Amino acid sequence: MANKLRNSLPKTSPFLNLFIPLLFISLVFAETPPTTSVSPVTICKSTPDPSYCSSVLPPRNANVYDYGRFSVKKSLSQATKFLNLVNRYLQRRSSLSTSAIHALQDCQTLAELNVDFLSSSFQTVNRTTTLLPTSRADDIQTLLSAILTNQQTCLEGLQATASAWRVSNGLFLPLSNDTKLYTVSLALFTKGWVPTNANVTAFQPPAKHRAFRNGRLPLKMSSRTRAIYNSVSRRKLLQGNVGDEVKVKDIVTVSKDGSGNFTTLNDAIAAAPNKSSSTSGYFLIYVTAGVYEENVSIDKKKTYLMMVGDGINKTIITGNRSVVDGWTTFKSATFAVVGAGFVGVNMTIRNTAGAEKHQAVALRNGADLSTFYSCSFEGYQDTLYAHSLRQFYRECDIYGTVDFIFGNAATVLQNCNLYPRLPMNGQFNAITAQGRTDPNQNTGICIQNCTIRAADDLAANINAAETYLGRPWKNYSRTVYMQSFMDSVIDPGGWRAWDGDFALNTLYYAEFNNTGPGSTTANRVTWPGYHVINATDAANFTVSNFLLGDNWLPQTTVPYASELLTLGRNPSMPTVPSHNTIIKDSQLRRTKNENGALPPPPAENQSNTTTPAENQSNIKQPNQNQKKGTKGSFLLCCESERREEEEERERPPRPCAPAASCLRRSSVAPLMIPPPRLHRNREQEGSLPLTNDRKWEKREEGHNFYLCSQNLTLNTCYYLGYFFNRDNKGLRPQFYKEPMPKPS
Domains belonging to the chain, first-starting first, are: 40-193 (1.20.140.40), 216-289 (no CATH), 311-556 (2.160.20.10)
Q: Is the pLDDT at 632 greater than 60, yes or no? A: no
The yes-or-no verdict on residue 76 having pLDDT over 80 is yes
- Residue range 103-119, pLDDT digits in tens: 999 999 999 999 999 99
pLDDT of residue 216 exceeding 90, the answer is: no
Q: What is the pLDDT of residue 32?
A: 59
The answer to whether the CB of 515 falls within 8 A of the CB of 485 is yes
Is 60 exceeded by the pLDDT of residue 262? yes
The residue-averaged pLDDT of 20-38 equals 54
Could you tell me the pLDDT band of residue 626, with boundaries at 50, 70 and 90? very low
Of 186 and 237, the structure prediction assigns the larger pLDDT to 186
Contact 219, 191 (CB under 8 A): no
* pLDDT at residue 688 is higher than 80: no
pLDDT tens by residue, 585-605? 222 223 333 333 333 333 333
pLDDT above 80: residue 272: yes
Average pLDDT of every residue of the chain: 75
Residues 222, 211: Cα–Cα separation, whole Å: 21
Burial of 226 (0-12, 13-18, 19+ CB in 10 A): middle
Pairing of strands 704-710, 715-719: antiparallel
Dihedral sign, Cα of residue 599, residue 601, residue 607, residue 609: positive
Which pLDDT value is given to residue 94?
79
Torsion angle of the four alpha carbons 619, 624, 626, 630, in this order, in degrees rounded to the nearest 10: 70
Alpha carbons 241 and 183: distance in angstroms, whole number: 47
Number of neighbours of residue 63 by Cβ within 10 angstroms: 17
Residues 448-471 pLDDT 10s: 999 999 999 999 999 999 999 999
- For residue 361, pLDDT beyond 60: yes
Q: Look at residue 160 in the predicted model and tell me its pLDDT.
A: 86
Q: Does the predicted model carry a pTM greater than 0.75?
A: no
CA distance 405 to 484: 16
Range list of β-strands (E), 630-738: 634-638, 656-657, 671-673, 695-701, 704-710, 715-719, 724-727, 730-733, 737-738
CA atoms of 229 and 231, how far apart (whole Å)? 5
Phi first, then psi, for residue 452 (nearest 5°) are: -115, 115
Return the C-alpha torsion angle 218, 219, 220, 225, nearest 10.
-150
- Helix (H) or strand (E) holding 376, with range, is strand 376-378
Q: Which residues are catalytic?
A: 403
Q: Which of the two residues, 17 and 722, has the higher pLDDT score?
A: 17
